[in-house]
Amino acid sequence: MKLHLIRFLGIILSCFLILNCSGKNKINKILQELESPNSFIRGGAVWAASCLDSSSLQDPRIIEGIIKCALDSENSVRRTTIGELYKFKDKRISNILLSALKIPEFRTEAISSLCEMKDEKGLIPLLMLMNDTTEGVQQKLIEGLPKYGSVAVKPLIERMDTKDLPTWLKIAEMLWVINDTNSIIAIKKPLIDKDLKFIKKTYYFFITIGLNESRNVLKKTLYKYGDKQMAFDFCTSGDSILNSTAREWAWSKGYILTIIGGSNDSWGSKKVNSKKLN
């Protein structure tokens, strides 16, 4: 832990010192330090290069230095570079990232860069990582794949399987962020099919996206497969209809729902950039 912190601080310091230079001096300093025998300095130079203006980012000399660091013998330099590669333009970058994707130590950085680039060559390899257990991978996929937009919708839907609940939920969350017509239709399928057993397992997701037509199916699910926890979540969802449904269900079972702390306003809490398609 201490070693990682020392490396990080060394890279930050190196980057800061470079960025304090001006004009051509900054470019020359970056070029010089990309070749430094000190890995802290090389890592700092990579970060400094990634902060350059758009025209300087495309300087062939800078790109050659960055490509070299992406294949560096020191893993910390290589990891830093892979995470910043999306900012540079070169036909070799895609293949470097696809190769890095196969190495657990660089996988999260490669995911981030491929998604920022919206590299279509990377889409299927990224989707093949849906069950990868490497630390941080699943969160990076959830954050990154929606950046592909509608291009990702069809392959994501093809991987939705109600028998694989964790994967279905991850994909549904990504489709909700993409939020085009086909992605919303795929999310709604269990509601349309009235698959109440599946809704029982995923009801909280449907509460958080707040689709109007889900209320009736959620009510049926509570009455057929519901329990006290489900009723409690309905009651505290912040939706008046689900609240009433939960209290009616509790009364029918002879329970008294006592809520301490009020609503958690989970209904419709998963926000998207565009208008929800209800």
Residue 246 has pLDDT above 80, yes or no: yes
Residue 267 has pLDDT above 60, yes or no: yes
- pLDDT band at 18; cut points 50, 70, 90: low
Residue 1 has pLDDT above 60, yes or no: no
**CA separation, residue 227 to residues 1, 200, 233, 249, 262 (Å):** 44, 10, 10, 9, 20
Rounded-to-integer distance, Cα 220 and Cα 29, Å: 67
pLDDT at 12: 58
- Cβ atoms < 10 Å from Cβ of 250: 20
Q: Is residue 210 part of a domain?
A: yes
Rounded-to-integer distance, Cα 44 and Cα 47, Å: 5
Q: Is residue 171 part of a domain?
A: yes
Q: How many CA atoms lie within 13 A of 91 on its CB side?
A: 0
Range of the domain at 208: 160-278
Burial class (CB in 10 A: 0-12, 13-18, 19+), 201: middle
Q: Is residue 181 part of a domain?
A: yes
Rounded-to-integer distance, Cα 81 and Cα 69, Å: 6
- pLDDT band at 80; cut points 50, 70, 90: very high
Write down the pTM of the prediction: 0.81
Residue 19 has pLDDT above 90, yes or no: no
Please count the structural domains in the chain: 1
Q: Is residue 66 part of a domain?
A: no
Q: Is residue 92 part of a domain?
A: no
Q: Is residue 17 part of a domain?
A: no
Q: Is residue 139 part of a domain?
A: no
Rounded-to-integer distance, Cα 26 and Cα 30, Å: 6
Q: Is residue 167 part of a domain?
A: yes
pLDDT at 275: 39
Residue whose C-alpha is closest to residue 233's, from 243, 223, 244, 241: 243
